[in-house]
Amino acid sequence: MADEIEYIECCEHGRQQQTFVCQHTVESLKDGNPRGFWWSVEQPENPRPDAWCSECEDLVNKTGEWEGEAEEFANIKILCGVCYDNAKLLNFPNKKPWWRFW
């Protein structure tokens, strides 16, 4: 959305970077069910780029654009930076727990 980092006041984490994610990513924080985590090209000045779930990724790949049906389905929401980080950890774990290797 914007190139410059903006801040919001989160009721849980205080003043944090404003981020944009799909509604399904927000739902994953509520119900604990991972839905995948995709993001736009990272820029050095924005460590938390816009992000969306696997269902949104599939729809964008099908329609070819972030307009109309895909935009409506995503229903973009705002999260604070810490909530974004938590959503990323839940939906895109970068490390498997040792007990899941077997």
Tell me the pLDDT tens digit for each residue of 33-53.
999 999 988 677 888 999 999
pTM for this prediction: 0.85
Model confidence pLDDT, tens digit, residues 1-11: 446 889 999 99
Label the pairing between strands 7-10 and 14-21: antiparallel
Q: How far apart are CA 79 and CA 65, in angstroms?
A: 23
Strand 14-21 to strand 77-80: parallel, antiparallel, or no bridges (unpaired)?
antiparallel
C-alpha span between 45 and 39 (Å, rounded):
15
39 DSSP β-pair partners: 51
